[in-house]
Amino acid sequence: MTEMKTLTIPKPDDWHLHIRDEAMMRAVLPFTARHFARAVIMPNLKPPVVTAADAAAYRDRVRAAIPEGVNFTPLMTAYLTDTTDPDDLECGFEEGILFGAKLYPAGATTNSENGVTDIQNISVVLDRLQRIGMPLLLHGEVTDPDVDFFDREAVFVDRVLTRLRHNFPELKIVLEHVSTHHAVQYVVSEAHSGKLAASITPHHLLYNRNRLFDGGLCPHNFCLPVLKRETDRLAVVEAATSGAPMFFAGTDSAPHPRAAKEKDNAAGGIFSAPTALSIYAEIFDRADALDRLAEFLSLNGSSFYGLNVNEATLTLEKADAPLELPSPIVTEEGDEVVAFPSGMPLSWRVADR
């Protein structure tokens, strides 16, 4: 079999992205905007994006940070709280400001302290989302301190997601950044509904939890949900490379200043925007599934969300030698952000135009 050296696909979309705000956003957004046509922008700023007006203002700031001459569309989300107004969500959705609603269990991840404390508190909101066809995007982890940290996603599936699917069967749900065999199995079991999908990150495809301890504790490999067992990683790889339409790319690229990563109580999040497409291609190449990469990166998400596939294309090429990984980027305020991965050779890259 002839080894594939180039691959041209419809320009991909990133269905889960953190870009923060202000100086950090201006530093990191260009990496995504050059490689992806659209991205779902996460709302966990400080303070969070909780209303349609907040989302409209944030969208304006995002648009202002897009490099000149680059065609990129931010898709905005609202951060659900115990007191979210369903009328405001509906208005924002109907006016094209809001693309989806994001559910963070309170305390589950970065800037989630204002998140939902009990799913019952937003039953009226969920019913409205179901009725108007607005997608619900889930950070799928419980925060019960009695639950093992590595089991928080699996317990969320059993305790919360199954109940959501039962109570709101027509609600379109995305279980974001799946990281366990258990979650993958559940999403596959619900494939017949057409209402449940999952996004997959490059880091959960590439690494298992051993990478948290490379040369000692490695904070730059710490993310939420945390990296899991090798059996979980393999299940996520199988899901991504299978061609199954309910799985698609969501990088969960989440920049933090180096100072916030290399300290006690290190921030959870991996900044993968500069290398995400290289990692995805590398994983699919290793799995002998490059012929399915376009589905995962460019087709499945568009289909689930009911959007047109991007007309523009992007070409990936395989180099003969490992690529030089990007140096830390520096914001206007002098904060360094370390790009993922640390020390992993990659052969695939986005071809120069």
Contacts of 144 (CB under 8 A, 6+ apart): 155
- Contact call for residues 13 and 38 (beta carbons, < 8 A): yes
- Contact call for residues 240 and 225 (beta carbons, < 8 A): no
14, two tokens: 């990133």
352 is catalytic: no
Rounded to an integer, what distance in angstroms lies between the CA atom of residue 191 and that of residue 202?
A: 23
Contacts of 285 (CB under 8 A, 6+ apart): 4, 318, 347, 348
3-state secondary structure of 253: strand
Which residue in 14, 54, 252, 335 is the catalytic one? Answer: 252
58, two tokens: 């944030």
Task: Look at the alpha carbons of 246, 49, 14, 72 in this order and tell me if their dihedral is positive or negative.
Answer: positive
Burial of 41 (0-12, 13-18, 19+ CB in 10 A): buried
* Helices H / strands E in the chain, number of each: 13, 13
Rounded to an integer, what distance in angstroms lies between the CA atom of residue 101 and that of residue 76?
A: 9
Active site residues: 252
